[in-house]
Every structure is written in C-alpha cells, then in structure tokens.
Amino acid sequence: MLECHRDSQKYSSSIIGDEREIFQTNLLSKILPSNYRFGSGTITDSKGRETGQIDTVIELPFSLSFPVSTGNNRLYLADSVGAAFEIKSDLNKQWHEAIEKIKEIQELNRYTIGKDDFALLDDLKIPTFIIAYKGFKKLDTIYKKLEKVESRYWPNGILVIESGIFLGLKNNSHYECTGNSTCILGFVSHLYGYLNRYSKNIVDLDNYSNLLK
C-alpha cells in the first residue's frame, strides 16, 4: 500500500491523494469475506443526522445502501455500517482534520434509545478508524494527541503504515502493535472483531420512515 501511495505522488493532481482507492483495493478487497461490501459516501441515522463525505465505509452483510447521484457514492444507514474510515496522507499535518471527521461519525447512533434506556457506546456508535500512510513515529505521540480529545470522540483504531504502528482502543483497554506486518495484522484483527460482533445486525427500515416525510 505504501509503495502504491508513493507512486501516486509522482503524477498529476488528479491522481495524487487517491489514498482511499489504494486502501480499498490493496487491503480491504483482499481480506474481507465476499459478503462484506465497501465504498464511500455519507451516513445517516434514524434521526436524520448526516455525516459529510466518508472516505471508506464497510457495510454489514445483507445490508441496504442507496446510490447518491452516481454509483461512486452511496447513502448508508447507520445501523448497517460495520466500520467507517478516515484516510490521510500524513497524520502529522492532518490530525485535526481526521479527528473532526471522526466526531461527525460518532455523533450518529446506530439505533434510537429512549430516555431511560441503557446502551453500551460500543453497540450504539459506529466503529471508526484513522488510516494514515505517513505520520507519527511512536505510539506515545498518539497518546499525547488523544489527551486533547474528549474520550467519547476517540477512534476505535489508528494505523500509521509507514511507521508500522497501530493503536486499537476499546472501552478502557488499549491494543498496541509495532512493526510493519504486526501492525497490519493487529489492525485486521481489531477490525474483524467489530465486524464479526455486529454481522447479524438487522436494519429496520421503518425506523427511517420519518425521513421521507
């Protein structure tokens, strides 16, 4: 992936920054079972809250999504999203931009909860990941950056490919990996844990009927 990204920097501006396509083609398409679809677009929840453009979205098996203007972008229902990704060239320069996008996604809920209902954040919120081709060299730097971010807006994982580091975040536990192959394996394992956990979620379209009025 890193070599493909480096190669893309040699060409015109229409090709530079094609991080999303490289990530999808060189990793997701090769590791995900065929019953998972991935693409890009916007996500909405049953209250009508929407994100802006999301770089990459993995849909849960047998989910529904809808084309937006062209087939290249789709409208995803929060209930049906297995994971969402913000993909950056250089996280040193794009950290705040990445976190702002994660916040957009974390504002959505997978399902509606009543006033007195109880729900775990891991079940209510969409798993989010930051993928960077270049960026911070050490895990300690990521921890220091996260100290300035409200914990409910932390992504579930941060992968910096060139540095060979991955930090997975789940509840109060941290999942650390270093080394080129180890960090990719750690990322895939962490991601698959979420996908497997929610793979049998069923989307109730009636919850979205109020958005059609």
Model confidence over 61-85: pLDDT tens digits? 988 899 887 667 899 999 999 999 9
Rounded Cα distance between 65 and 208, Å, is 13
Q: Is residue 209 part of a domain?
A: no
Q: Is there a domain that residue 212 lies in?
A: no
**Which band of pLDDT confidence, cut at 50, 70 and 90, is reported for residue 171?**
confident
Encode 24-55: b = buried (16+ Cβ within 10 Å), e = exposed: beebbeeebeeebbbbbbbbbbbeeeebeebb
185 in any annotated domain: yes
Q: Tens digits of per-residue pLDDT, 26-69?
A: 888 888 888 899 999 999 999 999 999 999 999 999 888 998 87
Q: What predicted TM-score, i.e. pTM, was given to this entire model?
A: 0.88
Within-domain flag for 151:
yes
| The predicted structure's pLDDT at residue 9 | 53
Tell me which residue range forms the domain holding 96.
Answer: 2-203
Average pLDDT over every residue of 190-204 = 87
Domain count, the chain: 1
The reply to whether 53 falls in a domain is yes
pLDDT tier for residue 13 given thresholds of 50, 70 and 90: very low
Contact 33, 188 (CB under 8 A): no
Tokens 């509840």 sit on residue: 171
